[in-house]
Structure formats: structure tokens, C-alpha cells
């Protein structure tokens, strides 16, 4: 039963709206164009949040229409947006849906009909969100005056009329444009669009998600910008220089000629006043060997600010030099204003897989707080050319530990602790940025974070940052390229990747115990933290998640779980988050970190929730899609909305409040079993007495 836990670790110009909208709307994937994940809604407070009830439930119907194979490959990580009188969202299979914000009733749906069955098992179906744009040149009632943009798993960008769901015929060809990757794909789904598009200055901009570790000459990570009306390409941007005259080529050796990736797979942010887009770029291909691209590889693993109208780079700040750890930038850059001693400062906040938080000036990209170049472990494999230093924030503390020693080993049994200690002792484990090796290297935190695509939330009134992090490790083992076929056949249940074109392939394993396969590092494995950026301190931490799903609900062990999804913070003083590997949407007090409420979900919620006000009431909505990669958590297609009871409406019962808490079903099962056992004992006693009386 616990073995399945290992699978979970491995799996790891917005214009004036056409309709009057509440100030507490949720108009973009990240709440606002800058991705703060903050809502001014304040009806729900720490004092009343435990009274939340289900407002409505919406089912997309995917469970009934997709094959079991396709469902096993889906990840429903969508965050809806509210525009006008509709919520807009997408399913993992790119169906775009409009629903009523107050009732959850479906208004329309559009199916782009992507291929879902004849696909490579490595493929994953995902769509994290859509974007809504108002065309200021068209009348309110004109067709496609308000457009919903979405990207697809088969690399199309589609424009739909927000009122009807019909394709906008003037955009591209019949409402869509097709992106052609730079090289033929190894499998359908090697190149996808999974994050919500960004619309600014009349252009719609999309990045891409590209399959990792298959080859050096992988598809280019080019960002595409299309005219929001016509679909004509306005500009493209490739983080890897493709011109010998580009000054960045000096930081790439000869690798700039054919290296792929450095793509933008996470959401982008937009500054409407400055006309700037902020892009989090990823690592070049392949992830774990960089000897063919010697140098820092400028613009990879960077926050890049680009003029939306022209595609001209204004500045770029590199977070990781010469990445060989898959420490790409996974999260949307967060745009906000800090109140500092010398006055307000517009900044960009970037969370990282390493659990580091960088704060950059929005106009220049210069760090607002000190960042130090510190020496990091050296001694890579033959042919590797490592950077001797890496940037570390010196003011804002790291949100996760970054070194795993044999003495830190955890295990549910003494045998597991001994096995974990030996595993760690047998690998290179010298702290953050220990290079990959043939011996095996511990990556802590693992390649799923620290902070992942859920990003951070920022409360501009309290000036507090909130982030959920995962605390587990990977073991990365390099092998000679010629051994790939043998090892791939030898280890069919492990991740064995060729990194074709490089002298080394790669095996990536979770660092787990053997008898009870839990992470070898000490819990908690999922943590929610509040950070005072100005003071440079962690204000509080709270464990996030339980192992309830892995113990049949009998043990809600409070050790946390790896998390996928992000937090939402409100003016009312409540933070909402799903993300954990149990079936709850949780609420925390933003001041203290105290857990205030848990809302039971039909499946795990590996999505960032959203909140909005509608007709005087505050709603909180999350997609509960399950997490098939974790084995025990079946896929689901349910969108769940919560709200406070209306006047005269009953709140949650004492029974539901008890049963919906973590471990509640396990406790109820034990109570029921105990009652049945007691009844059985009484029946046996009475039966024996009855028989004795009959005999007498």
C-alpha cells in the first residue's frame, strides 16, 4: 500500500471589461496580470471560515468520455478566471468551458478535439488555464469583442468568442494558429502548451512544455507572440541565441547551434503600464549534462523582461548558471510593490525549485536585496564545465533545507533508516548544486521543488509572501551513453533517459526507504510558509498534507506531502490552498499559520484555487482532478465551489465538520468497527444466555 507513495514522488493588455465586475474578481490565471494570487474579498474571515459549505459542484464529463489510458495520463491543474458573468476554464484535454459563477451551470463548451488515445505513454495531458482579452476596437455586442485564448497539448493557439464559445474566424485559420516545432517530434506530446496564454499590448503570447532528457538537439524553446485579432506572428524570442553575432553566444560555446529547450513552460506575467512581459525560462537540453554548451548559458534559467509590442529584451537576470540539475524556473514571476524604508518599490518576485526567493527591480532586473555569488561543489563528470559559483539571496532565507547527510536519514522502521543512511552515504551529497555523477548524486530539494508551478502568493496590505514547498530528494545517476539500451531494458520501472547526443544518459530515482517506501529525509515533506520580505525572515511555517490516502484513511499522519498547486491569500485574512496529496482544500490564518478549516474534495486538488465575489457573496473554487501518477489517487473531473451559508440556510453539521477533517473518515471507520464489534459481543453474550435458559 505504501509503495504507491513512491509513484507520487516520481510523478512529480487586459482592458476595461465589457461587463461590470466586482473589484474582488479573478480576471487572470494568477488573480491579476502580475500573478499576486491575492483577492480583496473579505467576507470570509478566520472567524467564520469553518462555516463554509459547498455552493455547487460541476463535472466536466471527461471521466465518461475518455479511455482509461488517457485518464491515467491526465493532470487537471486548471485555475478558472472570472470575466463578466462567466467563469472560464479548460480541461486536461483542452475543452474550454464557460459556467455560471453562482450556480456552476454550464453555458457553453468548445472541444478542439485533440488526439488522446494513440499517444506515447510519456505524454501528459494538461491545461492550467485560459486568458480573456477585450478588443477595445469593437463594440460590446460585436462577435469576438471579448476573446478567450487557450493553448493546446498539440501546440495550437485558439481564440473563442467569450459569449458563445465559437471560434473567432478572423484569428489565424478558422480561429486557430498552429505552432510548428523547430524539429520533428519523437512522439506526439513532446512539445505542448500547458500554461495559460498571456495577452498584452494587443498580442497573445505563449511558451511551451517540452519533454526532458531525450536528446541534445531537442525542440527550441521559442516563445511566440501573435496578433490578438488576426493571429499573425508579431515576434518570436528564443532564450538560446541562434546567431553567431549575438553577444550571448560567448556564454554557450558551440552549444547555441543545436541545443534545445530553455523554454518558458510556466505562466508569464504582464505589467500593463510598462508594456512588459516577464518570462521564467527553463534549463537547456539535456538537463543533467552541459559539457556541450560550456559557459553560463545566458537567458536560460532566467527571469527575462520583454517589450510586449516588439519582443525586444529589456533585461534578463539569471537564477542558475549552466544548469545541470533541472533547476529551471517553474513558477510565474510575481509582480507587486514593496513598501521599503526609502519608499515603494515595484518588484518582480521569483520563487525557485531550490526553495530560494529572488526579489528584482522591475525596471532593471537588479536585485532589490543582496544576492551573493557563492562557491558550489565541483568535480563533474568527464567533459562537464561547471560554474564555480551560483547566486544565493543573502537577505531572504531559503524556504527548504538543501543538504542531506547520512545522519539525517528517516525511516518508518530501523531497517529503512539503515537503508536510507547507506543510500545517502553511497552517493555524492555535498549540498545544493552537487554535480550529477556516475556514482550517483543526491538532489535536495528534488527536481519537483522547493517551489514548483504553483508559485507564491503576496498580500500587498500585510506585505507578506506565502509559498508552499516540497521537501524530498532525487538520486541522479549518470551512465555512459552506449549503456542506455541495456539499462532501459534492465530497469523498466525506473526513469532511464538517453540524453541522446551527450556522452551520458541519466537515471532519476526518488530517495526512498525500501520496506516502507517513504522519503529518506526527515518529515515534514510539505510545508506552507509566510515570509516577511522586508525583514528577511520566515514568520511562520505549517505542515501541509497528510498520508491519509496511503493508509486507507486510518492514519492521518501529519508529516506533510509533496505539493503541486499554489496558495491564494485574501484581504479577509485567510489563505486557501489544496496542493497536497490528500483530498482537502485547506484554509490558514495568514497572521499565525494556524489551520482553520478543511473542505473535503472528491479527489486531490493539484491545482491553485481561486476566489471571487458574485452577487454579494464570496466563493472559493478549486479543480479536484486527482493525481493518477500517485497510483492510489484516481483521476477526477470535478470543480468544487464553497461559500458561507445564506441567511436562513443551515451551516455544516457537527458530523460533517468532524468527518471532513483529515483522519475523520478513518476515525469514523474505527468507531463504526468498534460499535459493530461491541454489538457483536453483546449479541454473542445474549445468545449464550438465551441458549442456557432454553437448556434450563
Place of cell 525549485: 353
Pick the closest to residue 380 from 259, 502, 509 (CA basis). Answer: 502
Cross-strand bridge partners of residue 670: none
Examine the pLDDT at 514 and tell me if it is beyond 80: yes
Quote the CA–CA distance of 526 and 522 in Å, as a whole number: 11
The string of pLDDT tens digits covering residues 331-342 is 999 999 999 999
Number of Cβ within 10 Å of residue 188's Cβ equals 15
Give 195's contacts (C-beta < 8 A, 6+ positions apart). 29, 128, 129, 151, 206, 207, 209, 265, 266, 267, 268, 453
Cross-strand bridge partners of residue 110: 96
Place of cell 445564506: 646
What's phi and psi for 75, nearest 5 deg? -135, 110
Q: Under a CB-based contact definition with an 8 Å cutoff, are residues 97 and 643 in contact?
A: no
Number of Cβ within 10 Å of residue 140's Cβ equals 9
* Confidence band for 2, pLDDT divided at 50, 70 and 90: very low
Quote the CA–CA distance of 487 and 497 in Å, as a whole number: 9
23 is catalytic: no
Helices assigned H by DSSP within 28-99: 62-65, 68-72
% of the chain beyond a pLDDT of 90: 82
The string of pLDDT tens digits covering residues 525-537 is 999 999 999 999 9
Mean pLDDT of 350-370: 98
Quote the CA–CA distance of 365 and 41 in Å, as a whole number: 31
Cross-strand bridge partners of residue 589: 574
The string of pLDDT tens digits covering residues 250-286 is 999 999 999 999 999 999 999 999 999 999 999 999 9
Q: What is the pLDDT of residue 670?
A: 47
* Confidence band for 16, pLDDT divided at 50, 70 and 90: very low
Catalytic residue among 271, 326, 509, 629: 326
Cross-strand bridge partners of residue 388: none
Q: What is the pLDDT of residue 359?
A: 98
> Would you call 239 helix, strand, or coil by DSSP?
coil
DSSP string, 173-227: BTTEEE---SS--SSTTSEE--SPPEEETTEEEE--EE--SSBSSPPB--EEEEE
C-alpha cell at 493: 520501472
Examine the pLDDT at 608 and tell me if it is beyond 60: yes
Examine the pLDDT at 653 and tell me if it is beyond 70: yes
C-alpha cell at 84: 463578466
Examine the pLDDT at 219 and tell me if it is beyond 90: yes
- Mean pLDDT taken over the chain: 91
Amino acid at each position: 500500500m505504501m509503495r504507491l507513495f513512491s509513484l507520487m514522488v516520481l510523478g512529480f493588455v487586459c482592458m476595461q471589461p465589457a461587463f461590470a465586475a466586482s473589484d474582488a474578481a479573478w480576471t487572470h490565471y494568477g488573480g491579476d496580470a502580475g500573478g499576486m494570487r491575492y483577492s480583496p474579498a473579505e467576507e470570509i474571515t478566520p472567524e467564520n471560515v469553518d462555516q463554509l459549505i459547498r455552493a455547487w459542484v460541476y463535472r466536466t464529463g471527461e471521466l465518461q468520455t475518455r479511455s482509461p489510458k488517457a485518464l491515467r495520463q491526465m493532470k487537471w491543474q486548471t485555475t478558472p478566471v472570472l470575466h463578466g458573468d462567466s467563469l472560464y476554464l479548460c480541461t486536461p484535454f483542452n475543452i474550454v468551458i464557460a459556467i455560471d459563477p453562482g450556480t456552476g451551470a454550464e453555458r457553453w463548451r468548445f472541444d478542439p478535439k485533440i488526439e488522446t488515445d494513440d499517444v506515447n505513454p510519456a505524454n501528459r495531458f494538461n491545461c492550467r488555464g485560459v486568458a480573456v482579452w477585450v478588443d477595445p476596437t469593437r463594440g460590446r455586442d460585436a462577435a469576438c469583442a471579448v476573446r478567450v485564448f487557450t493553448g493546446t497539448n498539440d501546440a495550437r493557439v485558439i481564440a473563442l468568442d467569450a459569449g458563445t464559445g465559437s471560434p473567432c474566424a478572423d484569428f489565424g485559420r478558422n480561429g486557430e494558429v498552429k505552432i510548428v516545432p523547430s524539429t520533428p517530434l519523437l512522439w506526439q506530446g513532446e512539445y505542448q502548451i500547458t500554461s495559460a496564454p498571456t495577452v498584452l499590448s494587443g498580442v497573445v503570447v505563449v511558451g511551451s512544455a517540452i519533454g526532458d532528457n531525450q536528446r541534445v538537439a531537442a525542440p527550441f524553446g521559442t516563445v511566440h507572440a501573435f496578433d490578438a485579432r488576426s493571429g499573425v506572428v508579431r515576434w518570436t524570442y528564443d532564450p538560446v541565441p541562434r546567431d553567431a553575432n549575438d553577444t550571448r553566444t560567448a556564454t554557450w560555446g558551440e552549444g547555441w547551434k543545436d541545443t534545445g529547450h530553455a523554454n518558458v513552460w510556466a505562466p508569464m506575467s504582464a505589467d500593463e503600464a510598462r508594456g512588459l512581459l516577464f518570462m521564467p525560462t527553463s534549463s537547456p537540453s539535456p538537463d543533467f549534462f552541459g559539457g556541450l554548451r560550456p559557459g553560463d548559458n545566458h537567458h536560460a534559467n532566467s527571469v527575462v523582461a520583454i517589450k510586449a509590442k516588439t519582443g525586444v529584451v529589456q533585461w534578463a537576470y539569471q537564477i542558475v548558471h549552466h544548469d545541470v540539475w533541472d533547476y529551471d524556473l517553474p513558477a510565474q514571476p510575481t509582480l507587486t510593490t514593496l513598501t521599503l524604508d526609502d519608499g515603494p518599490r515595484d518588484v518582480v518576485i521569483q520563487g525557485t525549485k531550490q526553495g530560494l526567493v529572488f526579489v528584482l527591480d522591475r525596471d532593471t532586473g537588479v536585485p532589490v536585496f543582496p544576492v551573493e555569488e557563492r562557491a558550489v561543489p565541483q568535480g563533474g563528470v568527464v567533459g562537464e564545465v561547471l560554474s564555480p559559483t551560483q547566486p544565493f539571496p543573502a537577505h531572504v532565507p531559503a524556504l527548504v533545507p538543501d543538504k542531506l547527510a547520512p545522519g539525517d536519514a528517516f525511516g518508518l522502521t530501523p531497517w529503512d533508516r539503515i537503508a536510507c543512511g547507506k543510500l545517502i552515504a553511497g552517493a555524492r551529497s555535498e549540498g545544493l548544486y552537487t554535480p550529477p555523477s556516475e556514482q550517483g548524486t543526491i538532489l535536495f530539494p528534488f527536481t519537483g521543488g522547493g517551489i514548483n508551478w504553483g508559485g507564491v502568493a503576496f498580500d500587498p496590505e500585510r506585505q507578506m509572501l506565502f509559498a508552499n514547498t516540497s521537501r524530498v530528494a532525487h538520486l541522479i545517476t549518470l551512465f555512459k551513453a552506449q549503456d542506455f539500451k541495456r539499462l532501459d531494458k534492465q530497469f523498466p520501472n525506473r526513469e532511464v533517459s538517453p540524453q541522446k547526443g551527450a556522452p551520458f544518459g541519466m537515471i532519476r530515482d526518488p530517495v526512498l526507504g525500501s520496506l516502507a517506501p517513504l522519503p529518506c529525509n526527515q518529515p515534514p515533506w510539505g510545508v506552507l510558509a509566510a515570509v516577511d520580505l522586508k525583514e528577511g525572515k520566515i514568520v511562520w511555517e505549517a505542515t501541509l498534507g497528510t498520508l491519509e490516502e496511503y493508509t486507507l484513511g486510518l492514519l492521518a499522519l501529519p508529516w506533510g506531502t509533496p505539493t503541486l498547486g499554489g496558495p491564494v491569500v485574501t484581504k479577509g485574512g485567510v489563505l486557501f490552498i489544496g496542493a497536497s496529496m490528500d483530498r482537502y482544500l485547506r484554509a490558514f490564518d495568514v497572521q499565525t499559520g494556524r489551520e482553520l478549516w478543511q473542505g473535503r474534495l472528491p479527489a486531490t486538488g493539484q491545482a491553485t484555487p481561486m476566489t471571487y465575489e458574485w452577487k454579494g457573496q464570496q466563493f472559493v473554487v478549486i479543480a479536484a482532478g486527482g493525481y493518477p501518477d500517485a497510483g492510489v489517487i484516481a483521476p477526477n473531473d470535478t470543480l468544487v465551489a464553497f461559500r458561507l451559508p445564506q441567511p436562513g440556510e443551515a451551516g455544516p453539521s457537527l458530523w460533517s465538520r468532524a468527518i471532513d477533517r483529515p483522519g475523520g473518515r478513518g476515525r469514523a471507520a474505527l468507531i463504526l468497527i468498534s460499535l459493530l464489534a461491541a454489538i457483536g459481543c453483546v449479541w454473542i453474550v445474549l445468545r449464550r444466555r438465551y441458549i442456557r435458559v432454553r437448556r434450563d
